[in-house]
Amino acid sequence: MKSISEKGILVNLKISQWTARKYDKKVSKQIEQEHNAYNAGNFNKLLIAENELRKISAVANRTRDFLYDNTLPWGDNGDRLLPSTNLFEFINQFNDYKKKFDETVEKFIFEYPSLKQEAQIRLNGMFQETDYPAPTNIKQKFDMQIGVMSIPKTSNFLLEVDAEEVENLKNQIESEIHKRILQGTKNIWTRIKDAVGHMVERLSTKDAVFRNSLIENIQELIELLPRLNFTQDRDISEVIENMKTLVVNPEKLRTDESFRNQKAQEAKAILDKVSDFLG
């Protein structure tokens, strides 16, 4: 049987972005004087119109969502478990997000001189040339990378300390890894519960309106979760297989009450099973 270190790797998404905000000490002081106040707060200038940088932030946010969807929780420092069964698909899709991020940044850099001119008019007397990085340095303000590291093997855990203490530390590490494996498995069950539970709620409520995404979300989980099921948990595999009966024509659910009730009952049976595993 493969060890956990052979079933996946740890990934950590690092994104840096220029905020284009600058604390203006002079203006902050003027505001306090006008209101006869002190320690009232800081005034931060928007060096570049927010909507321009929001385009880059939107790509960054979509990439984070992609990361969370395609990996499982692991550590408190941003590390995520990427099962080896999802590695190929993950790398291909991340490269697409990375390419989109870089293209959006390049477009921003190209427009940077004109954006500065717009800011000079918008900020008027608050505009300071020294607030702005040189065009040659702007690109360094943006970056998106995936850090990768292997899951350590406790069998390789060797220290120049007492043998009994080494064994205790090994046991602690194995216990922590086991805890994180359970956390990852629980995350899969929670995803199923949220999607199927929402379906039960919508289909069981008479005349409740629902979108096609109700079914599409189930279909996406059926395709994704087998790649995240790194422990090859048979119960998870069985539930995923049962979920396939819920992928039906949403229009038929809207027009055929009997069919809708049937699928609501099937979804409820799956939800009950998932709830048992979650405890």
Write a three-state SS string for 99-124.
HHHHHHHHHHHHHHHHHHHHHHHHHH
pLDDT tens-digit readout, 84-107: 999 999 999 999 999 999 999 999
pLDDT at 69 over 60: yes
pLDDT of 154: 59
Q: 279 exposed, middle or buried (CB, 10 Å; 0-12, 13-18, 19+)?
A: exposed
In whole angstroms, what is the distance from residue 53 CA to residue 254 CA? Answer: 42
Instruction: Give the DSSP letter string of 224-279.
Output: HHHHH-TT--HHHHHHHHHHGGG---HHHHHH-HHHHHHHHHHHHHHHHHHHHHH-
Say which range, 35-44, 49-58, 246-255, has the weakest mean pLDDT.
35-44
In whole angstroms, what is the distance from residue 195 CA to residue 218 CA? 6
pLDDT digits (tens, 9 = 90+) for 29-49: 887 788 877 777 787 898 998
> Burial, 122: exposed, middle or buried (Cβ in 10 Å; 0-12, 13-18, 19+)?
middle
Q: Say if CB 24 and CB 45 are below 8 A apart.
A: yes
Mean pLDDT of 59-75: 95
Look at the block and give the residue holding tokens 């060096």: 47
Give yes or no for residue 279 having a pLDDT over 80.
no
pLDDT of residue 216: 97
- Give the per-residue pLDDT at 1: 46
Residue 83 near residue 233, CB atoms below 8 Å: no
Average pLDDT over residues 161-177: 69
Beta bridge partners of 8: 83
Report whether 56 contacts 17 (CB < 8 A). Answer: yes
Structure confidence by residue, pLDDT tens digits, 125-153: 889 999 999 988 999 999 999 999 888 66
Average pLDDT, the chain: 89
| φ/ψ (deg, to 5) at 82 | -110, 105
Q: If you search the block for the tokens 């409820």, which residue do you land on?
A: 268
Copy the structure tokens of residue 220.
């996406």
